[in-house]
Structure 1
Amino acid sequence: MMIPWQNLATETLDNLIEAFVLREGTDYGEQERSLAQKVNDVRRQLISGEAVLVWSELHETVNIMPRGQITG
């Protein structure tokens, strides 16, 4: 189930994005980027609609995914 990012408190959204970018295996290319830059990149993707927040009832977790990976 998709969760509108606008419905979350700013601090909650910040924490979700930060946890997402800190996950091991998240690749941002050859150039090293700061945590703040990575967080801003993901926030921009959420605002533009390129990425969405997805709730998994099975795992009881929230994830950030590219909109194109969401199946109906």
Structure 2
Amino acid sequence: MTAGLNAGDEILQLNGKDARTLTFADMKVAFAQVSLSLTVNTLPPVDRRQLCFLPPRRSDAVDNLYTDIFSQSQ
């Protein structure tokens, strides 16, 4: 499969060499070539409707809000 890179993609191999073992010199040589081969791990797309940007607050479901522990016993 041929596709572009996306933010968050993890490069596993560069020209068949394990990316964890690459040196800066290895990458410099590879990127100077006309073409190169990448093996990439791509995470599945996230459904933005399922993201919870802010966790629910207790006050969202509680009718009687208490501001401190003493007001509960009054």
Calculate the TM-score normalised by the size of structure 1. 0.27
The structure showing larger relative contact order (alpha-carbon pairs under 8 Å, at least 6 residues apart) is: 1
